[in-house]
Amino acid sequence: MISIIRAFQRYYVERSKAIFAPQVERREFMFMDFDDNVRRYISFESLEELRAYLMRMVPKHAYYSVGLYDNPSSRSRSMEGAELLFDIDSTDLGCDLCDRDDLYACRSCGHESMREFSICPRCGSSKILRLDWLNEHCIEAALREVKKVLDILLGDFSIDERDLLVSYTGNRGFHIRVLAGGFIKLGKRERMEIVDYVRGRYFSPERIMKKTEEGYIIPDPSEAGWRGRFSRTLLSLFPDKVLKKEKELLAKISRKELRDVVNEMVERYSAGIDEAVTFDIKRLTRIPNSLHGKTGLRAMTLPLAEFEDFNPFINAVGLSEDPVTVRIEHRVPEFRILDRNYGPFNPGEVVELPVHAAALIVLKGRGSIG
């Protein structure tokens, strides 16, 4: 592991300027080292102090509080607000293509299979290890949800782009942070309402349509928000049931069909966020541009104009090409980093790899150094 820690350290020395935390002096920090020891209630007076700490301590995972405190390292502190955080993780999205490289391994006898099992078919043990992986489908699935959240934040809530921070988590997901003043002050209950809105809950078509003797007058499909989304969905599902009546659109549609429209609208536009994260104002979340301890990739911030073309295996590689020797312990699927393909590898193989590829295998629990 020492060569991976050294590679992390080199990153924190050479790329230290990229590390930042908005309003650093008001946040609590938490770090986990490579022996899985956790340090909490840490605070810094400046970004330079935080960067120096990372270079010196070289954590495996680095987090800060979404909460802003008057005295962040004290246990009797008071919270002055919290950034509004949306967490999208493809692990929660049930994407089969993302999960296709997951591996299940018996801790007792070493039997492994790509198919999930809870009792080992070879030895009967119930000590089963699930080893996930990261592929481009995980990123595609998560990015689709990021786009939905951004559409709502920028369109429905009219939040200024400059008040949003989008970042890759370094593993299978993304974070969207709202830093605008009004949102920082929201309490838990208001955050829950925002979650419901983003999820498209409690939408009642009867409330936005006017019932006439001939049918329902529906909102203009170009309208912002769920009103427009509703009409766009209705038009795409039942184009023949909508006709133009003077300036308005008239839908001759049954209640049952309206239900179908709402269900389809939610399916299309509701964003797959981890809801508990958004209303938890005490959450700790990954420091932008720090390294993720399960991949060695950068939790990098992404300009809004660029996030759709993002590829972590090209853009978020933070470790060097220095060669290290890896002993494969569990099957590794074929993968690609920068311009090179690696694998597939089988248990027992010993291979020499650039440390950025080695880190992915070792930190995902499928091999060890040396």
Contact residues for Zn ion, defined by CB under 5 A: 106, 108-109, 111, 120, 122-123, 125
Beta carbon of residue 126, minimum distance to Zn ion (angstroms, whole number): 9
CB atoms within 10 A of CB 157: 16
Residue 340 Cβ vs Zn ion, minimum distance, rounded to whole Å: 34
For the bound state, the minimum distance from the C-beta of residue 124 to Zn ion, rounded and expressed in Å, comes to 7
Q: How many CA atoms lie within 13 A of 174 on its CB side?
A: 32
Which residue bears the tokens 């293509």? 97
**Number of other residues whose CB lies within 10 A of the CB of residue 83:** 24
- CB nearer to Zn ion: pick between 120 and 277: 120
State the alpha helices, DSSP H only, in the chain.
2-14, 47-57, 96-99, 136-151, 181-184, 188-199, 205-208, 225-237, 255-269, 275-279, 312-315, 355-363
Residue with tokens 């080893």: 131
> Considering the complex, what minimum distance in angstroms separates the CB of residue 128 from Zn ion?
8
CA 21 – CA 63 distance, rounded (Å): 10
How far apart CA 116 and CA 128 sit, in angstroms, is 9
117 versus 157: smaller Cβ distance to Zn ion:
117
Minimum CB distance to Zn ion, residue 130 (Å): 14
Nearer to Zn ion, 120 or 324 (CB): 120
Closer to Zn ion by Cβ: residue 2 or 109: 109
Q: Which is nearer to Zn ion, 129 or 276 (CB)?
A: 129
Collapsing DSSP to helix, strand or coil, 177 comes out as strand
Closer CB to Zn ion, 9 or 108, in the complex: 108
The minimum distance between CB 121 and Zn ion, in angstroms, equals 8
* 3-class secondary-structure state, position 20: coil
Q: Which two tokens stand for residue 234?
A: 């209705």
Name the DSSP class of 18: G
Contact 217, 209 (CB under 8 A): yes
Q: Give the largest Cα separation in the chain, rounded.
A: 78
Nearest approach in angstroms of CB 108 to Zn ion is 5
Is 245 in contact with 284 (CB distance < 8 Å)? no
Q: 122 vs 282, which CB is nearer to Zn ion?
A: 122
